[in-house]
Structure 1
Amino acid sequence: MKRLLIPALLLAALSSRAEEQPPKKYNVLFIAVDDLNNDLGCYGNTFVKTPNIDRLARRSVKFDRAYTQFPLCSPSRSSLLTGHRPDVTGIYELQTHFRKNLPDVVTLPQLFKNNGFFAARIGKIYHYGVPGQIGTDGLDDPISWERVVNPKGRDKTEESLVKNLTPGRALGSALSWHAAEGTDEEQTDGLIATGAIQILEEKKNEPFFLAVGFFRPHTPYVAPKKYFDLYDVNRIPLAKEIPNDLDDVPDAALFTKPSHWGLGEPERREAQKGYYAAVSFMDAQVGRVLDALDRLKLADNTIVVLWSDHGYNLGQHGQWMKQSLFENSARVPLIVSVPGGVKGKSSGRTVELVDLYPTLAELCGLQAPKDLEGKSLVPLLKNPAAAWDKPAYTQVRRNQLFGRSVRTERWRYTEWDGGKAGAELYDHEKDPEEFTNLAAAPEQANRVKELAALLKKGYPLAKE
């Protein structure tokens, strides 16, 4: 009996010790892309070439209805990284740092840093003015990181070569492009990929939160010539337009005035080709980082998140860029890969960028701040079709006038200045391109009432 007892006791001790072992920590590779819309292969666009993001999607859950909280860089990023909506951060423009209003907030990367992860930023995560602040810290948050890297490539030094199709607008908000000489690695985004790979190599044996922020396709649309060569300007698929499209749209809803900033079809094709070239160039840099993750055998314990700060209009309703509440501006790509998790599936639930903070905290077993305003996406990462009744909220400000929007899986409802400057209702089941505003339709009165109440619920701090 004694011979049997000793091994049994030893086995029990080993089992107890194994139970005491903390779970292996996931790393996080947090990839931010500036001004990227859903014109990607994995989202059904067969024209734009994005093989590397498509590859990531095949080993991830792809969210088909993901939305920004504010279609402008700093308000969006401040919201995602603090876990608070714009009415709490107080950030509606590009100049104010969120810590002016929330001095003690614990940001997403700061939470990881505080819990023993090596937290590093390379490129644009918090707001930078583009292209003016490339190579600087921009509106960074130093307490969030242990290391920061601010590359500056030949796209910055060759700004004088950029062609501006809208010369009345500064480069950061102009339709402008440049097909560059030289290699990928000489461009800022190429340097960002190189720096990210170096950090992966250096920190492969310790837990890390690595935030990699690519600048493209933000204007000016700069990429090596080979990416421009991927696209025939005569085959660029321009946005569908219909006569009198804007007759039922409130004036406040329009950012681009006049439509297309007065550009004709040839110039619009030229601009869109530049945007797509920049998308494909950025995609190649994402591929370099993913290759390194695989080569270093980090994919099996690294969560990968790819997101954009907002969508981007390419001529829809005559609008360009962001700062509108139309679907193309409010909707974002969001792809989340969890080791050993669901792969190659899509979720049609309405989710928000503000949901990423609680999601990553839960996946990594970290105690998140209790006042976060998003909802963890972990149930959808386990079952992309799981029951989910949470709508998505997006807002914008024009001078002092607010537009606020709520998106369910079928409907988008928007009020401008609390409805005093107009309202919009679109049925995405029948009208995915938002050509028919149903807000004033008598048969939709009950729907408007229902969605107006849902909208109000989502903006408890709203002050018109």
Structure 2
Amino acid sequence: MNKILNLICSSLMVLSVTAQNEKPNFLFVFADDMSLDTIGAMQRYNCKTPHLDKLMASGASFNRAYNMGAWGGAVCVASRAMLNSGLFVNKAQKGINEFPHWSEIMKENGYKTYMTGKWHVPGQPRFDVVRDARGGMPKGSGYNRPKDMDDYLNGWKPWDKAQGGFWSGGTHWSEVVGNHGVDFINEAAKDDKPFFMYIAFNATHDPRQAPKEFIDMYPLDSIEVPKSYLSNYPYDEEMGCNPVGLRDERLMPSPRTEFAVKVHRQEYFALATHMDREIGRIFDALEKSGMKDNTYVIFTADHGLSVGHHGLVGKQNMYDHSMQVPFFIAGPGIKAEQEFNIPIYLQDAMATTLDLAKIAKPKHVQFNSVMPLIEGTKKVQYAPIYGKYTHTQRMIQDGDFKLIVYPTIKVSRLYNTAKDPLEMKDLAKNPEYAAKIQELTGKLKKLMKDMNDDMDLDNPKPVKNNKKKKSKKKKA
């Protein structure tokens, strides 16, 4: 009788482990300041990202993934608060402190959670395993450079470890994240629990430091200046992007020069390629672990970056180079080589994992899973798309048209992004588009209301940031 009972118990244990292992794993890889320009497979510029190209080809790519914007200059803070809370931009600043984080939801549903890299979210990371969690950015950026060739040859160098920055600690931070990512996968392979990994690189944020071999991959004479290049943006101060006041904009001399833009883009691409190598190491570890066939991989970034487009350097604007990011997902049941031009928000990553893990989406989560789009049961995710930056900018993308509004100076800019993807031809002063501007302005006002945006577009006043309040977390 005891032998029979032991046999039954053993069988039940095997069934339990098998059922548990049927839950999919999730590897979420997150970059910083990485625009769609940097993905080699997009063939926009000569940036090399072979491992991300391979990921893109192996599953579904969303080529119109947006960040909603931000309430302050550190756009990454707002983006990450939205990502980890599941809340839209005008609720995330408070909600990140009030609701369970993405990792906690996964943990409560049987997942072992791992995190390394950039956090930049209020409070400590809420994961089972955390290694080398870092804040916003290290000190070590070179500002107001290069002024000329002499300054370039004799000044700040991205491979100079004495400058600190990503070299602080002796090992480049991208390599630290790569090392931990590989270690996490090896640890997870020995655990019966399914895993959720949050691998967050500080790259491609400045300081744009990489080993010299990666800089050498991009000779300056091979770097293309963006077609939308300007020496200065005409409304930079009014839109909150003062070239001598906003930190990001101070990285490059003002007025901008083609030479300075080439140098910054050289370093930007080199850092992206260096990070891609580390991502490749993580993907290789997943392949060798035997867990790849039951793992969904999602790659995206918190926002894009200008690096010379429109006379801008940073991400505090409503142009696609700063609002759009890569968004790739691959894994069980997702067909290869799918590309979607359906607008989504990058923060849909959270809801997508919940959907794939068959976890009920908490009521407070506002973003949506991309799986219905992939499966063809849904054709539209969000219409129209909303964007904001402090009280100085608002945006609506509706179909082929984008309207950018600078409320404090009563200026609007209109672009047909289907015909003019680089957003170089402002149609706002063309009388033929007066009705379109009026239509989009009305839609923007309604969208702002729907988004809990309490700014009066006609009579704007600076909106105070929500003060952080200690409060009890609400249950999901």
Classify 1:197/1:225 alpha carbon distance in 2 versus 1 (closer, same or farther; 3 Å).
same
**Cα shift at 1:24:** 1.9
Of residues 91, 104, 113 in structure 2, which corresponds to 1:88?
91
Of residues 17, 30, 33 in structure 1, which corresponds to 2:31?
33
* Higher relative strand content: 1
Q: Counterpart in 2 of 1:402?
A: 392
**Cα shift at 1:355:** 2.1
2:183 matches 1:198 = yes
Deviations 1:55-91 (A, max 9, x none): 110112111111001161101110121111121123x
Q: CA RMSD in A?
A: 3.2
2:171 matches 1:186 = yes
Q: Runs of 5+ in structure 2 lacking a partner?
A: 1-14, 148-154, 456-476
Q: Counterpart in 1 of 2:472?
A: none
What amino acid sits opposite 1:36 in the alignment?
M
Q: Counterpart in 2 of 1:439?
A: 428
Secondary structure in 1 aligned to 2:419? coil
2:213 matches 1:226 = yes
Classify 1:346/1:256 alpha carbon distance in 2 versus 1 (closer, same or farther; 3 Å).
farther
Deviations 1:188-228 (A, max 9, x none): 11011111111111112421110001111111111111101
2:438 matches 1:449 = yes
Secondary structure in 1 aligned to 2:425? coil
What amino acid sits opposite 1:111 in the alignment?
I
Of residues 416, 419, 423 in structure 2, which corresponds to 1:430?
419
Q: Counterpart in 1 of 2:461?
A: none
2:215 matches 1:253 = no
Q: Counterpart in 2 of 1:415?
A: 405
Classify 1:225/1:250 alpha carbon distance in 2 versus 1 (closer, same or farther; 3 Å).
closer
How far apart, CA to CA, are the structure 1 residues paired with 2:396 and 2:47?
29
How far apart, CA to CA, are the structure 2 residues paired with 1:389 and 1:449?
21
How far apart, CA to CA, are the structure 2 residues paired with 1:280 and 1:252?
35
How far apart, CA to CA, are the structure 2 residues paired with 1:463 and 1:57?
38
What amino acid sits opposite 2:395 in the alignment?
S
**Cα shift at 1:166:** 4.2
2:300 matches 1:307 = yes
How far apart, CA to CA, are the structure 1 residues paired with 2:265 and 2:20?
50
Moved more, 257-266 or 300-309: 257-266
Moved more, 439-448 or 189-198: 439-448
Determine if contact 1:354/1:373 at 8 Å carries over to the other structure. Answer: no
**Cα shift at 1:37:** 0.8
Q: Runs of 5+ in structure 1 lacking a partner?
A: 1-16, 91-97, 128-138, 169-174
What amino acid sits opposite 1:141 in the alignment?
Q
How far apart, CA to CA, are the structure 2 residues paired with 1:420 and 1:462?
19
Q: Counterpart in 1 of 2:55?
A: 56
2:129 matches 1:147 = yes
Classify 1:347/1:405 alpha carbon distance in 2 versus 1 (closer, same or farther; 3 Å).
same
Matches within 5 A, 1:358-397: 358-383=351-376, 386-387=379-380, 390-397=383-390
Classify 1:197/1:428 alpha carbon distance in 2 versus 1 (closer, same or farther; 3 Å).
same
**Cα shift at 1:244:** 9.8
Classify 1:289/1:50 alpha carbon distance in 2 versus 1 (closer, same or farther; 3 Å).
same
Q: Structure 1 length normalisation: TM-score?
A: 0.80
Secondary structure in 2 aligned to 1:291? helix
Determine if contact 1:28/1:209 at 8 Å carries over to the other structure. Answer: yes
2:287 matches 1:294 = yes
- How many pairs align? 411
2:263 matches 1:281 = no
Secondary structure in 2 aligned to 1:321? coil
What amino acid sits opposite 2:220 in the alignment?
V
What amino acid sits opposite 2:201 in the alignment?
F
Classify 1:191/1:386 alpha carbon distance in 2 versus 1 (closer, same or farther; 3 Å).
same
Q: Structure 2 length normalisation: TM-score?
A: 0.78
Deviations 1:260-284 (A, max 9, x none): 6234332322221111110110111
Q: Counterpart in 2 of 1:136?
A: none
How far apart, CA to CA, are the structure 1 residues paired with 2:429 and 2:412?
8
Of residues 454, 463, 474 in structure 2, which corresponds to 1:463?
454
2:101 matches 1:107 = yes
Q: Counterpart in 2 of 1:345?
A: 338
Of residues 260, 268, 278 in structure 2, which corresponds to 1:267?
260
Q: Counterpart in 2 of 1:327?
A: 320
Secondary structure in 2 aligned to 1:150? strand
What amino acid sits opposite 1:145 in the alignment?
F
Indicate the percent of aligned positions where both proteins have the same amino acid.
24
Determine if contact 1:222/1:278 at 8 Å carries over to the other structure. Answer: yes
What amino acid sits opposite 1:61 in the alignment?
A
Secondary structure in 1 aligned to 2:342? strand
Classify 1:409/1:56 alpha carbon distance in 2 versus 1 (closer, same or farther; 3 Å).
farther
How far apart, CA to CA, are the structure 1 residues paired with 2:44 and 2:238?
30
Deviations 1:387-416 (A, max 9, x none): 55633222111xxx2312122341211222
Deviations 1:81-119 (A, max 9, x none): 1111121123xxxxxxx5xx5543122121101111011
Matches within 5 A, 1:119-134: 119-127=113-121
Q: Counterpart in 1 of 2:474?
A: none
Q: Counterpart in 1 of 2:44?
A: 45
What amino acid sits opposite 1:73 in the alignment?
C
Determine if contact 1:89/1:102 at 8 Å carries over to the other structure. Answer: yes
What amino acid sits opposite 1:366 in the alignment?
I
Secondary structure in 2 aligned to 1:318? coil
Moved more, 402-411 or 250-259: 250-259
Classify 1:421/1:449 alpha carbon distance in 2 versus 1 (closer, same or farther; 3 Å).
closer
Q: Counterpart in 1 of 2:69?
A: 70
